[in-house]
Structure 1
């Protein structure tokens, strides 16, 4: 069953994905450490009435896995084939014991398929914390008078960090614990993951309304600018933006506080009122983003008031992540979306 699931994940990941999907493939290489030693095995032998001695080696050994999955915003469903291998054990003077007796005392670890659910929380623009839990279907072989294959299904869980590149690649540093029968194996690994077939997220395709007069509009990547000072606001015009301030990830203060052109314009047109509207990217819970967007708008309004703009001329609001300017799937797009717009309202809003 687990092999069929893993094969399905691998095949699905090869298909072109539609907008909003996130299939990925990857591999991990690391170090497996089984919590057992020779003394523990000999204690088991004594409890089972088996004579002789035992020597356990390779409790720590090279391991890895190949994986495939599908990621949503905060959750990932993942299947993998895991190669943990088994510690070497040498039994001496045990007599003619059966392979079943040996299976009760020998170190337990092995290879197999797993399916897990991961929860991911981004705490910077490039770094995320993840937690995982799932099931591991394992198998390993032992030989005494005959060879026997042991199988079972046990829980697995883990945690780690993920670094996101500007492109489709992700890098994970993780700790995973695999329970195999009576023994636990910890896997410390470094994984490389690539998203495949990801289509850009849909962006707002509305056609901009004509401006009342030709006027420069601030680029989110440059200091804000305002319309020429002798361009009076048209009370019947559509809304248009006279300034944009951008923000670093999670910050409530803008990257620049240069508002001279906007203040000059508002001083020349003392009847003009503006909307100060905050925005965020789509990282983090929406409730948090709405509060962050409002705090950003309030910070910009405070800067304007500090330069003599009356509070009653400013309408402050926050949009959270609901009004992106660019694709939130790229760091460049998210940087454009972390902003505050300073806008002259249209005729219907005045």
Structure 2
């Protein structure tokens, strides 16, 4: 286990400073110059955050899930730099948070595994422009990644001694759950895997996670819809579409109440999957493979025409990103780690299995896998 200085000697400190400045510039430049990406869900979230919907006000009948943690973040981020406008202020705030998260994660890994490993991780994450591109959109990906990166580094390479660290990890996973529930669930699964050999750590982790999730759930109960599953039926129904082509679903389930509409969506998803596996044609296996891995190998669209140099960098990064992802999972799965950090080897296949399951259950969309 390497616990030397994360930055190494004077030469490496200069290297760290240069890389830090480069990464900050790469994130601030598009945050200020690139067009802000606003999807229909972005506009809805901004409006909800502005009026308190999903935080203190009831959520209207809608197929869009209200994520209280993200809405609370938007409410604060919109006011960080008012002269830039609400949307640009959000983009700048989440861009800075993600860069800080990447830098802090790299420094921590450098402290735990050696300065060279930390530098390599920082460069890889900074040049993974899909993360940077996500910061230009008012969506949950950027904030989720900013929260997940340091948490994943901490639970996979916990410090020694670590008396109450997993309690804080449980709280962090619960906060991610409030921003992006599927990623929060994966985060707590990774933390459980790391804490398993230590029952005290596992207990602290679960108590903290369940406690914060329960408090958040209760605090937002008045603002939630009457659907007890808070709209989860709609992404389940969407994920059952052939090749995730939503028009193939026809009309979406409608009912007199949100509770019944949610139930109809879940039933519709179940029926669609039954029909899928009962098909007599030979395309079933091919489509199942597509559904399982498109979220990993595919890339979401980003219009980088605002800058020709950035467009070239973005194109190259997106071409190699899926293969780097699988290479990283393969290396982490087979590279021998010392006994205190041996959970990393199990975390790699767990992460791959979780992402494949997410693609099948919630939809094979590259944006869902990105954080």
**Structure holding more helix per residue:** 2
Relative contact order, CA 8 A, sep 6+: which one is greater? 2
Q: Shorter-chain TM-score: what band?
A: under 0.3
Larger Rg: 1
Identify the structure with the greater strand proportion: 1
Q: TM-score, normalised by structure 2?
A: 0.19
Tell me the TM-score normalised to structure 1 length: 0.19
